[in-house]
């Protein structure tokens, strides 16, 4: 690559560059560090590309987390026969007490029979 021809997309599409960004390969890190030293006129674009990678990674993290959390909430709502769970605490206490009361009533009725 000659000066002026290096752009962010080329860098991010390069496997070793991502390894350098993620610090997953000592060899690639060393390579890119010395590359910056040898090509100081590319230091800025390398830095930009690295920032864009972190941003892209974070954006994908947030989006996936939101999707997965929504899925978990749906599953919780679908498997919610347990009486203790309720959206509001006051309600849950109320229904909890009601349930105990009903059970006690039921128990005594059964006992009487």
Partner 1 sequence: MHHENDEILWKGLMEGDQDMFLALYRKYYHSLLFIGLREIKDAHLVKDAIQQQFLYLWEKRNSIQPAKNVKAYLVTSFLRKLTADWKRAEKTDNLQVAWNNTAEMPLLTPEESLIWKDEQQQLCRLLMDHVNALPARQKELIILRFYEGLSYEEIVQRTNLTHRTVYNKIHEALKKLKLELEPAKEKERLSFGFGMSLLWTALLFFYGWQ
Q: Dig out the tokens for 35 from the structure.
A: 């590359």
| Buried b or exposed e, range 65-95, using 16+ CB within 10 angstroms | eeeeeeeeeeeeeeeeeeeeeeeeeeeeeee
Distance separating alpha carbons of residues 46 and 48, to the nearest angstrom: 5
Least Å from the CB of residue 111 to partner 1? 26
Residues 1-30 that bind partner 1 (CB under 8 A): 7-10, 12-13, 15, 18, 21-24
Alpha helices by DSSP H, listed for the chain, are: 8-12, 15-22, 26-38, 43-78, 89-112
Instruction: Please tell me whether residue 52 binds partner 1 under the rule CB under 8 A.
Output: yes
Cα torsion through 64, 68, 73, 79, rounded to 10: 170
Question: Encoding tokens for residue 29?
Answer: 């890190």
70 to 99: interface string for partner 1, x by CB under 8 A: -xxx-xx--x--x-xx-x----x-------
Q: Which of 62/108 has CB closer to partner 1?
A: 62
The distance of closest approach from Cβ of residue 61 to partner 1 in the complex, given in angstroms and rounded to an integer, is 5
Q: Which of residues 1 and 108 has its CB atom nearest to partner 1 in the complex?
A: 1
Query: Which one of 32-40, 46-54, 98-106 is the stretch in contact with partner 1 (CB under 8 A)?
Result: 46-54
Contacts with partner 1, residue ranges (CB under 8 A): 7-10, 12-13, 15, 18, 21-24, 48-49, 52-65, 68-69, 71-73, 75-76, 79, 82, 84-85, 87, 92
């Amino acid at each position: 690559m000659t000066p002026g021809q290096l752009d962010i997309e080329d860098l991010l599409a390069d496997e070793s560059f991502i390894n350098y960004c993620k610090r997953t390969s000592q060899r690639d890190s060393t390579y890119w560090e010395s590359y910056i030293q040898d090509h100081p006129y590319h230091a800025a674009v390398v830095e930009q590309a690295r920032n864009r990678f972190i941003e892209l990674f974070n954006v994908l993290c947030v989006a996936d987390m939101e999707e997965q959390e929504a899925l978990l909430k749906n599953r919780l709502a679908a498997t919610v026969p347990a009486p203790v769970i309720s959206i509001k605490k006051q309600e849950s206490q109320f229904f909890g007490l009601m349930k105990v009361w009903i059970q006690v009533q039921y128990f005594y009725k059964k006992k009487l029979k």
